[in-house]
Structure formats: C-alpha cells, structure tokens
C-alpha cells in the first residue's frame, strides 16, 4: 500500500476523504501521519478539506534532465528508501553514468552510517553508477566531486554555495 508521502508526491491537492480511503485510515490516524511527516521537516498545507505538499524547491523535471544528461539513463523517484540503495539493487541493468534522483528518501545514509534526513523537494538527492579499474584508488574522490560541484554551481551563477566535508553541497549554509 502507498504511503501518505507517496500519494501526495505528485504535488496535487487531495481531499481528506480521498486520503483516508486510499490509506485505509480513519481521520485521527491520518492526522497522526501528517504530524509525523511535519516532524521530519516535510511541509504540508491543509486548507479546508484539501491537503497538499509544499515543495521547497522546483520539482525535478524528468524530460529536461534526460535531455541534458543523454546518453545516460535518469530515474526520478518522488519517494525512495535510498538513491544509493536503488543503484545497488539495479547494478545488473545500469550503465556507467546512469543516475537516480529523488524528491525525498526515507533511509538515506550519510558518513559512518548516520541517517540522512531531507525535506520533500528540499535538496538535490542523487546517486550515480560508475566503475573504476581495480588498481585505481578512489580515496578522496567524494571530496573532489563535492569541490567540482561547488565550482560548477558558482560558474553558472549560484551564490552562497559552499562545501561541508566531504561532499555535502550547501546553499546559504543549509
């Protein structure tokens, strides 16, 4: 069964009655689900009988990304456990350079296995598949990629971009 976040991920407004029917919840349990999502930093608007997500950034555009990143395959998931786990689960069908982006991940991992929380459509969350020759060292690669991302964003006009060790790209400190 789909979760509340998955149902709201299309950005369209849904009525309370439609959500309770889809989720097979009573209105009290639905309110608890909404509160749980809000505690995770997910912005939800409730106006009269309608509920919708409030994305913090422009939503990902699959067509535009596929055109810009051709010939690589792009997968966009509104809600996913982890983009990295998606790559690992699909190694047999991916090619070098293919990537997965998500609006929200529920089981993201940071350094040292720490949980990585992100608000819905509030960050760029992505993992991409790449292979290296066995004898090549990739030590420090994540730092170099983070530095390259910051430099590229600044070159295209982004202001307030910085790097948090080793590869978290921040905008205005967030």
Domains recognised in the chain with CATH numbers: 4-53 (1.10.10), 56-131 (3.30.930.10), 132-173 (no CATH)
Question: Does position 57 have pLDDT exceeding 70, yes or no?
Answer: no
User: What are the C-alpha distances in Å from 8 to residues 4, 13, 14, 81, 126?
Assistant: 6, 7, 7, 16, 21
2-11, 40-49, 52-61: which has the minimum mean pLDDT? 52-61
What pTM does this model have?
0.67
Most distant pair of Cα atoms in the chain: their distance: 61
Q: What is the spatial distance between Cα 149 and Cα 152, in angstroms, rounded to a whole number?
A: 5
pLDDT of residue 78: 84
């Amino acid at each position: 069964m789909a979760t509340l976040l998955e149902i709201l991920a299309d950005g369209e407004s849904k009525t309370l009655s439609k959500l309770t029917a889809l989720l097979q919840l009573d209105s009290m349990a639905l309110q608890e689900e909404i509160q749980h999502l809000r505690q995770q930093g997910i912005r939800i608007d409730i106006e009269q009988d309608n509920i919708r997500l409030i994305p913090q950034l422009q939503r990902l555009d699959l067509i535009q990304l596929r055109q810009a990143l051709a010939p690589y395959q792009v997968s966009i998931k509104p809600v996913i456990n982890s983009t990295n786990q998606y790559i690992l689960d699909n190694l047999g069908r991916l090619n070098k350079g293919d990537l997965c982006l998500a609006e929200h991940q529920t089981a993201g991992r940071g350094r040292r296995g720490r949980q990585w929380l992100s608000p819905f459509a509030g960050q760029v969350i992505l993992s991409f598949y790449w292979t290296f020759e066995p004898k090549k060292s990739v030590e420090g690669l994540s730092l170099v990629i983070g530095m390259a991302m910051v430099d590229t964003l600044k070159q295209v006009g982004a202001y307030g971009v910085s790097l948090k060790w080793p590869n978290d790209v921040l905008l205005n400190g967030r």
